[in-house]
């Protein structure tokens, strides 16, 4: 048995155990995406990077411990690297949470909240399945263009979103969202009117309006 020290917490494990498993035993969460036991451990997502005492970054999912070792699991530096790393991953993800089957238990959505990466809409937290979306019933909801993460009563109970948490700034998400509004028969002016209640002094609102104008312009 070897001793692994993770951010000061000591845990005893079999030699050959990965850092990730050791952390699980110690009750420490390390964010990870790609590793699946017995299926894949290629250390591809690089979100589970931890720091050794020699200052090297190693993936917790693939690094096996054979002797007493110490790791830093959470630090400002690691957090920043994980965040940028996750942003890179998300930048190639086609975000359409309102249509997504997994919106309730999406690993990306929960990680984005944990790491503080914006760009995911409120829909990811909405308890309603996609086919029961309020928008399909003609109820105007700002969930598609509002940043997720507020956990307020209105969302968790399946009510409509009023956008108090602020707009999304990612352009491609906005484009898709406005196209969706038009598809469902909403007037974009109505959407913007509703949005102005909370956002009239938010700088990102100007950008959002531009995107909206473009989407509308493209239709004509």
Partner 1 sequence: MSWTLLDKCCEKCTHSLDNPCPDYIECRVNGPLCHSDKKCKELRKKRLEEIQYGAVGAKIKIPLSSCTLASGAENIYEAVKDYVEKNGLKISISISGCFGLDFLDPWIEFTSKGMPTAIYANVKPKDIPRLIKEYFEEHDVSSAYVLKNKTGKAKGEDKVPLLDELDVWKKQYRWVSRNCGIVNPESLEEYIATGGYRGLSRSLKMSPEQVIDEILKSGLRGRGGAGFPTGIKWRITREQKVTPKYVVANADEGDPGAFMNRLLAESDPFRIIEGLTIAGYAIGANQGYIFVRAEKPLMASRLQKAVEEARKYGLLGKNILGSGFDFDIEVILSAGAFVCGEETALLAAIEGRRAWPRQRPPYPAQKGLWGKPTAINNVETLAHVATIMAEGAEAFASVGTEKTKGTKMFCVTGSVKRPGVYEVPVGTSIRYLVEELAGGAVEGSAIKAVQIGGPSGGCIPASKLDLPLDYETLQSAGAIMGSGGIVVINDKNCMVDVAKFFLTFTSAESCGKCFPCRVGLKILWDILDKITRGQGTEEDLVVLRHVANTVKYASLCALGGTAPNPVLSTLRYFMDEYEAHIKDKTCPAKVCKALITYTINEDKCIACGQCAANCPVNAISKQESGKYSIDVDKCIRCGTCYVVCPVGAVEKHSRGRRRSGGEMKW
Query: Footprint of partner 1 on this chain (CB under 8 A)?
Result: 42-46, 49, 57-59, 62-64, 80-81, 84-85, 88-89, 91-92, 171-172, 210
> Which residue, 122 or 211, is less far from partner 1 as judged by CB?
211
Distance of closest approach, residue 189 Cβ to partner 1, in angstroms = 21
CB 42 within 8 A of CB 34: yes
> Which residue, 35 or 148, is less far from partner 1 as judged by CB?
35
Detail the DSSP E strand segments found in the chain. 2-6, 9-13, 17-18, 49-52, 57-59, 64-65, 69-72
Q: Backbone dihedral region of 83: left (phi > 0), alpha (psi from -120 to 50 degrees) or beta?
A: alpha
Tell me if residue 2 falls in helix, strand or coil. strand
The rounded distance, in Å, linking the Cα atoms of 107 and 169 is 21
Tokens read off for 32: 């990870």
Distance of closest approach, residue 216 Cβ to partner 1, in angstroms = 16
> Which residue, 139 or 213, is less far from partner 1 as judged by CB?
213
Distance of closest approach, residue 27 Cβ to partner 1, in angstroms = 25
> Which residue, 46 or 194, is less far from partner 1 as judged by CB?
46
The DSSP result for 106-158, as a single string, is -HHHHHHHHHT----BGGGG--S-GGG-GGGGT----GGGBBS----HHHHTT
Distance of closest approach, residue 59 Cβ to partner 1, in angstroms = 6
> Which residue, 9 or 107, is less far from partner 1 as judged by CB?
107
The rounded distance, in Å, linking the Cα atoms of 120 and 95 is 7
> Which residue, 91 or 136, is less far from partner 1 as judged by CB?
91
Distance of closest approach, residue 44 Cβ to partner 1, in angstroms = 5
């Amino acid at each position: 048995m070897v001793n692994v020290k993770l951010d000061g917490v000591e845990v005893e494990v079999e030699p050959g155990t990965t850092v990730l498993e050791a952390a699980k035993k110690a009750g420490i969460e390390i964010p990870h995406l790609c590793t699946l036991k017995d299926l894949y451990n290629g250390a591809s997502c690089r979100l589970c990077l931890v720091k050794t005492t020699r200052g090297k970054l190693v993936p917790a999912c693939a690094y096996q411990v054979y002797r007493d070792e110490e790791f830093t699991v959470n630090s400002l530096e690691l957090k920043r690297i994980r965040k940028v790393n996750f942003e890179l991953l998300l930048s190639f993800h086609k975000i359409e949470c309102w249509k997504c089957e997994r919106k309730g238990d999406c690993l990306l959505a929960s990680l984005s909240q944990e790491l503080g990466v914006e760009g995911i809409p409120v829909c990811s937290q909405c308890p309603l399945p996609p086919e029961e979306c309020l928008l399909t019933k003609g109820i105007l909801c700002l969930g598609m263009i509002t940043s997720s993460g507020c956990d307020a009563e209105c969302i968790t109970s399946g009510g409509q979103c009023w956008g108090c948490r602020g707009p999304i700034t990612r352009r491609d998400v906005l484009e898709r969202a406005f196209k969706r509004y038009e598809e469902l028969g909403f007037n974009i002016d109505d959407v913007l009117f509703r949005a102005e209640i909370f956002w009239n002094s938010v700088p990102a609102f100007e950008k959002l309006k531009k995107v909206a104008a473009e989407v509308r312009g493209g239709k004509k």
